[in-house]
Copies of this chain bind each other. A is one copy, B any other.
Amino acid sequence: MQKLGKQTIKFDTPPTITEVASIVGPKEANGPLAKYFDQCLEDEFWGEKTWEKSESKIIKETVNLAISKSGIPNNDIEYCFAGDLLNQCISSSFGLRGLNIPFLGIFGACSTFVEGLSLGAIIIEACAKHVLCAASSHFCSAEKQFRFPLELGNQRPPTSQWTVTGAGAAVLSKTGNGPFITHITSGKIIDMGIKDSNNMGAAMAPAALDTLLCHFNDTGRSPSYYDVILTGDLGHVGKEILTELALEKGYNIKSNYNDCGVLIFDKEKQDTHAGGSGCGCCATVFSGYFFKQFKERKIKRILLIATGALMNSTSSQQGESIPGIAHAVSIEL
């Protein structure tokens, strides 16, 4: 692999995304992408007593499904990169504690899935044959932890996003038929001083812009190179901001840019306000919808930019702004 510019790595023998899996909750099951997910749950608990245990079960079963669909023996998978939004990433560590695969916990907030794909791709090209990447989120456990108890029935402002209940997992391999991870552009922390924790799209859009510009600078590519430029969970508000910011910088992405948080819910019918969010958002939308688009040769080149808001409820209470981050992977056939 080689560095292009300051933030991008180009792979000489690009790792292949061999297989993926996605399991989502009931809200996502009523959304426009329902038929693309491997499994849709009927309730948020999935037979568990708590939302946290349910989220652990979701990521566990998603990972098991990805491994089983890939046909690769568990023993041949050399590393697992995983993370989630729960305090101390317990969804991943409890869900995957029985996996018996070297485990590297990562935290990039909602950018976690792409951070995992990035590090997984590096270690594949460097020395491993198969690597697993996974991320999850859960609406109920996230609301409880970041905002208010669900039982309060708080009103949500129009800029607020709906945390996706679900997990996505991908098995990367040294050889295969693609889609391939050809480049990664790892993001810096960008904090533009946004303090409204009900407007994550605005807080994260500048980070997405920074990574987008870096990627184009480092690779010499332009927006039209990609069939789809896809952000993780900027939602309706953040998507509009990014589109405008990019245009100001000379990049018109209007025709081929979309956002997983925009795609996963029907804004009018589902009362999800500014759209989906959470580590599970781009993990499920990529693993559910876009991977199949690749397999059916309907798209050939995606720039997937997952964004994360690196805050917690204490930092907001202490008057802090919300630092954002965005990691990008270029996925191509």
Question: Are A312 and B1 neighbours in the complex by a CB distance under 8 Å?
Answer: no
Supposing A90-B312, A126-B125 touch, asked if A103 and B325 sit within 8 A by C-beta, the answer is yes
| CB of A299 within 8 Å of the partner chain | no
- Report yes or no: B127 in contact with A87, Cβ–Cβ below 8 A: no
Binds B, one of A22-30, A39-47, A315-323: A315-323
Contact A106/B106 with A1-B126, A93-B310, A126-B126 known, Cβ cut-off 8 Å: yes
Chain B proximity mask over A97-141: 1 for CB below 8 Å, otherwise 0: 101111111111100000100110011011110000000000000
Question: Is there an interface contact between A97 and B189, defined as CB atoms closer than 8 Å?
Answer: yes
- Whether A154 sits at the interface, judged by CB under 8 Å, is no
Give the residues from 171 to 194 in chain A that come closer than 8 angstroms, CB to CB, to chain B: 186-191
For residue A311, give the distance in angstroms from its CB to the closest CB of chain B.
7
- A100 in complex: contacting residue of B86, B99, B109, B188, CB < 8 Å: B188
Q: What is the oligomeric copy number?
A: 2
A67 adjacent to chain B (CB < 8 Å)? no
CB < 8 Å neighbour of A102 from B86, B187, B315, B318? B187
Chain B residues lying within 8 Å of A94, measured Cβ to Cβ, are 310, 315, 320, 323
Partner of A122, one of B49, B126, B325: B126
Pick from B2, B49, B108, B311: contact of A90, CB below 8 A.
B311
Given A3-B128, A115-B105, A318–B9 Cβ distance below 8 Å? no
Given A79-B186, A87-B87, A127-B3, answer yes or no on A105-B103 (Cβ-Cβ < 8 Å). no
- Who on chain B is nearest to A115 by CB? B104
A119 vs B122: C-alpha distance when bound (angstroms): 10
Encode contact with B along A72-85: 1 for CB under 8 Å, 0 otherwise: 00000011000101
Total number of A residues with any Cβ neighbor in B under 8 Å = 60
Contacts A126-B122, A318-B50: A310 and B90 contacting too (C-beta < 8 A)?
A: yes
- The CA of A129 and the CA of B15, in the complex, are separated in Å by 23
Asked whether any CB of chain B lies closer than 8 Å to the CB of A19, the reply is no
Determine which of B106, B145, B190 lies in contact with A107 in the assembled complex, contact meaning CB atoms within 8 Å. Answer: B106
Contact of B104 with A105 in the complex, beta carbons under 8 Å? no
User: Which B residues lie within 8 Å of A313 (CB)?
Assistant: 87
- Which A154-175 residues sit within 8 Å CB-CB of chain B? none
Contact mask for chain A residues 224-250; partner B; CB cutoff 8 A; 1 contact, 0 none: 000000000000000000000000000
Task: Given contacts A86-B312, A93-B310, list 8 more A-B pairs with CB under 8 A.
Answer: A53-B318, A86-B314, A87-B312, A93-B189, A94-B320, A94-B323, A104-B186, A107-B107
**A–B pairs, 9, beta carbons within 8 Å:** A52-B315, A85-B88, A86-B312, A87-B314, A88-B310, A90-B312, A93-B310, A105-B310, A107-B107
